[in-house]
Amino acid sequence: MTLTPISPATAAGVDAVLPVPGVDRRRPPYLRMEWSDAETGAVGYLVIDTLVHGMATGGTRMRAGCTIDEVADLARGMSNKTAAFDLPVGGAKGGIDFDPKDPRAHAVLTRFCEAMRPFLDRHWVTAEDLGVSQETIDSVFAELGMRQSYHAAIERSADPQATAARVLGGLNAAAPGGRLGDVIGGYGVAQACLAAARVRGQSAAETTVAVQGVGTMGGGASFYLHEAGMRVVALADASGTLYHPAGLDVPTLLAARDRYGEIDRAVVAPDVMRLPREAVLGIDCDIVVPAAVSYAITASNAARIQAPIVVEAANAPTTADAELDLTARGIAVVPDFIANAGAVAWAWWLLLGHVGTDYRDSFDRLRSRMDAKVSALLTDWTPAHGPVRWTADVSSTTRSAEPLVVP
């Protein structure tokens, strides 16, 4: 296990810094740690990018090929999300280089969390991410004697048992499309898409969208876009892209997903085109939503994108050089730390008691904030300003000095 602590200034809550033209303003993370699993050889990583009030938040992912640099990028993104939504917490991320479909994956995740216990007890609030469902990580926490994956924040409350009950009630509350805790992130992405369309003067019914990935985030976004009246013309999973210019039967396709977010092709209508997986990025549509893996849009495939808007639902789905290429072509990329921040923002609203089990309160709060943020970013944006990410820079955000109090 390797620990690399950084300066006290960062621990005090210095927020993540975004790249600006010609200047590398990135500072090192507060902590980078590597863990090795003696039983399988799996390697896990924890990166705490920033601590605010002694806390950081960010999910834990599992995928073959996961690297420390990937986790560090994602942790920096979490710092940006928490700053953009004015949350009283810093950013972190966990990652494990292991195949989540391997039958040993649950045991690997359990041993990783056990090794991270000192941080999970006091400083790091984690949750689902690529390859790790919320149900899975909560079951691991239960096995380790912790109430839930928000354990570190829950234990700060005056009544941890009552706080845990409130959190679990919110996570498991019924909402259109599924459990509130599962769908809230996708709902936020959908609201980002709807706001972007409105800025362009398009109604939902006039707007077409292609979604790469039908897991928790992509599936939720697709469901709510379909519910809002947008035509979801393409959905892509690991097996390929499903395309129909008149729009897909999104609810039927989502209902046929397996636990890994892949659609059973037996339910696909015969008039739906079956294209290669990578074809989704080049679909002729108004909005492309990368909601699968990091670094999906690169300099080598960015030229395929025809849509005038990209809304980042995955974490870090667009490389920096690809984003510059897209911007030069007049394509607006709504950055992940805005578009997909709904899940983390909602989790902390739930922890702090701002929302509860009524999904309508959560939806109203997230819709108003996402609409305001995306509208403000895109209304006067032009390619001459550089990537939308630069306009959304949160590096100067100052956090409240008030102590973090979880009711």
List pLDDT tens digits, range 297-306.
999 999 999 9
Chain centroid offset of residue 47 CA = 16
Q: How far apart are CA 316 and CA 290, in angstroms?
A: 10
Listed residue (45, 9, 52) closest to 27, CA to CA: 9
Tokens 């922890």 belong to: 351
What is residue 260's predicted lDDT score, i.e. its pLDDT?
A: 82
Chain centroid offset of residue 384 CA = 28
Q: Which domains does the chain have, with CATH numbers?
A: 2-156 (3.40.50.10860), 178-391 (3.40.50.720)
Tell me which H or E stretch contains 332. Answer: strand 332-334
What is residue 78's predicted lDDT score, i.e. its pLDDT?
A: 95
pLDDT in tens, 193-205: 999 999 999 999 9
**Which runs of consecutive H residues, i.e. helices, occur in 172-267?**
180-199, 216-228, 250-255
What is residue 9's predicted lDDT score, i.e. its pLDDT?
A: 34
What is residue 147's predicted lDDT score, i.e. its pLDDT?
A: 84
Q: Give catalytic status of residue 101 as yes or no.
A: no
Which residue positions in the chain have pLDDT lower than 50?
Answer: 1-25
What is the number of other CB atoms lying within 10 angstroms of the CB of residue 240?
Answer: 19
Q: What is the pTM of this model?
A: 0.89
**What angle in degrees, to the nearest 10, is found between the helix axes of 180-199 and 216-228?**
50
Measured at the alpha carbon of residue 358, what is the angle toward residues 352 and 363, in degrees to the nearest 5? 80
What is residue 245's predicted lDDT score, i.e. its pLDDT?
A: 97
Tokens 């690169």 belong to: 298
DSSP labels for 97-123?
Answer: ES-TTSTTHHHHHHHHHHHTHHHHHHT
Mean pLDDT of the chain: 91
Q: How far is CA 49 from CA 27, 295, 380, in A?
A: 9, 20, 31
Cβ(106)–Cβ(128) below 8 Å: no
Q: How far apart are CA 54 and CA 89, in angstroms?
A: 8
Q: Which is the catalytic residue, given 81, 93, 101, 373? A: 93
* Residue type for position 124: W
Numbers of helices and strands, H then E, in the chain: 15, 16
